[in-house]
Every structure is written in structure tokens, then in C-alpha cells.
Amino acid sequence: MKNKVVLITGGTSGIGKACAFVFGKAGAKVAISGRNQQNLTETSQELAAAGIDNLAINADVSIEEQCERMVAETVAKYGRLDVLINNAGISMRALFEDLDLDVIRKVMDINFWGTVYTTKYALPHIMATKGSVIGISSIAGYRGLPARTGYSASKFAMHGFLETLRTEMLHKGVHVLIACPGFTASNIRNTALAANGQQQGESPRNEGNMMTAEEVAERILKATLQRKRDLVMTFQGKLTVFLNKWFPSLTDKLVYNHMAKEKDSPLSK
């Protein structure tokens, strides 16, 4: 990663922030984006204190023009772009029958369209460096999760987009990685949207038993250096993908029962 340039969307918390430190410590120059200026400033100062050359960009990935500007500012400062990590994301938890459709629109705008917009403007630069496009996805992109219709749909869409892009880039030297961390200790569940579009405010899961964001970031760096296609990080995740492929009806029941055990689950017990 020495002297490589990495752009990370949603780079002020969770997996995005951990990637900024991990890729930066491996020698990369790091650009991070986010919507909260205070969080951006604080993260940039932390990166600088760790000796990491960085650029903080206030941008909302759900707005195409801001994604174009984000890429332009990165290339203007560093002269190149080697790795794009599409990390910005939002979750939701509610039964579809109770859900305000604006929740799905918002989730798709950030998770799917944010990836499409940023990748569109970054791709010419990444083609020039024969670099990497990375999508931080989820097991929800392989297997629909009950009470997560919008989130699962956005991750399935991301998978289809990146898989197609990978195939188009097959002979052009661009590496495309879809990384699925499984349940990771981050703030994505705290900020997940409820049926009415408000943030649920607390995680329904025990965050202490999960893989840390730093562990996830280390594995993403390794997979990037090895130019892997897919990265499913947990045994539970790998088992879910396997079972869903070969025993889909059984997996329906297993997934329902597992998700129903969440604190305050909207699923009937």
C-alpha cells in the first residue's frame, strides 16, 4: 500500500474508520468522506496523529454531485486513486407490512446508489492504476433477512452491480472485492431506521460477542493485497451462504428463528 491512495466512504466510524487506520498504517494516503463535519475533523486529526496522510471530505453519498466532487477532491490532492472502499451504509429493522416506503428509498439511496455514484466517478482513475473497487456488504446480500427488507434489497443490488462490474473489468486489470463481515461491532445497528424512519437508537444484539471493526479492516486489507473476489468473514456467515444455496427451505426457518431471538424483534415468536 505504500504511496497508494485509498478513498473510503463513511470513513468516520465503524469499519470505515478502522479501514482508514489499517490501510494508512500499511503506507496508503487516505481520503475519508462523511456527512458529520465534527466527526470528520476528529477522525482526520486522529489519523494525522498516527502519522497517516489524510484528506477529510464532507459529502453525502446519496447525492451524485457530491460523489463526483469527493472523487475529484481526492485526485486533485493526491494525483491518483488506487482503492475505493464503498463503506457508507445504513440499516433498518421493521416488518415490510409496517414499513414507511421512504425508509427503503433512503436505504437504497445510501447503500446502493452511493456505491454506484462513487464507483462511476472513481472508475477511470482506478482503471489507470489497475486498482481495486471494494464493496462492504453483508450476509444480507446473499440471504434475505426478515425485518430487513430494505437493507437486504440494497445489499443484493450492490452484489449484482459489483459482480457485473467485475466481469466487465475482467481483462482491464481492475480488482473488485465484495466483503461481507457478518455481524460486526459498529454503530450501524444503533443508527438503523425503524418502521417510521426514525433511528432505533440502540443495538438489538450483544455487540461484545462480535468481530471488531479493526479485525474486519485487517482482513479487508489482506484480501485487497491478494486481490480476492469475495470475503465472507464468519463461520456463521459461511454456513448461512452454504445452507441457503443447498437447503433454502430449511434456511428460511433457521433464519426466521434466529432473527426472532433479537431483543424487541418485530417477528412473532
Among the listed residues 78, 117, 121, 151, the single catalytic one is: 151
d(CA 151, CA 155): 6
- Can you read off the three cell numbers belonging to residue 44? 482526520
Q: Give the contacts of 22 (CB within 8 A, at least 6 positions apart).
A: 214, 217, 218, 220, 221
Task: Specify whether the CB–CB gap between 221 and 22 falls below 8 A.
Answer: yes
Cβ within 8 Å of residue 1, ≥6 positions away: 23, 26, 27, 28, 221, 225
Segments in 130-200 forming alpha helices (H)? 149-168
Any idea how long the chain is?
269
Sign of the alpha-carbon dihedral angle for 150, 153, 159, 162: negative
Residue 151: active-site member: yes
Per-residue cell: 170:
475482467
Active site residues: 151
